[in-house]
Amino acid sequence: MSTCCVVLLSGGLDSATLLWKAKKELDADVYALTLIYGQKHRKEVECAKRLSTLAGVIEHRIVDLSSISWAFYASRLVEGGVEVQLSKVSRDYVPQRNLVFIALAAAWVESLVLERGYSRGLIGIAVHRYETMGYPDTRPEFVEAVSRAVALGSAAVVERKAEICVWAPFVNMTKADIIREGVRLGVPYELTWSCYRGGERPCGTCFSCTTRLRSFMEAGVPDPLTDMYEKLPEWYVQWLKVHRFSGITGGGSQQ
């Protein structure tokens, strides 16, 4: 069975791990798709370029959706967006982002199947269990539902009996689990970006930065970007000291 896989590649550590997993463990032709949707943290796009080149994907497409960023305005992560107070959902939620991203990736996957004769097409997305506490579009039931919807709406499935589905191997894993997997796969985490502030250096204080640092701690390895942070949380600095990681100085301010 010939397979193609389009990995949704943001430039963050989760999607980078997924890309490496696809390249090393799938018997498939791997493509990457990066979407610009008006996010403030554009540096991750440059990281996605470097990661896709290093991974050796067949094709990496970067699509600018800034003209429809108005659809995501109820998110503080989007340029010109507003912060909405939600009691059960993360303040960093972007309305229906994963649904829009999966739909675009699914269209490309189906085009590849129809044009190039693949019998199987995968839409790779790195959603994971930790996120389900604050992001409804990362839950296993969402992944299952949207995967079924993609197949139901596919001419390649209906007419050519191809298989098209969402591939989300991390959906029941924590971020620390993903990092352990990435270490095993040799993911160059120094080329990834997580900060939501949009600066030249990761801030070390936003939700994404602190989640990243805690996850590296839980995985038992230091973040290779440790020396780049503007400010390291004291709990992370103390952890580094206790474990005496060599070559890590924690060069950012720690006040």
Where residue 133 falls among pLDDT bands split at 50, 70, 90?
A: low
Q: Radius of gyration (Cα) for the chain, nearest Å?
A: 18
CATH match of 3-190 with 3.40.50.620: yes
Residues 6+ apart with CB under 8 A from 198: 40, 41, 42, 43
Domain ranges of the chain: 3-190, 194-243
Q: Average pLDDT in the 26-50 region?
A: 91
Decide if pLDDT at 205 tops 50: yes
Residues 6+ apart with CB under 8 A from 158: none
Determine which of 45-49, 75-79, 198-202 has the lowest per-residue pLDDT on average: 75-79
- Output the pLDDT for position 63: 96
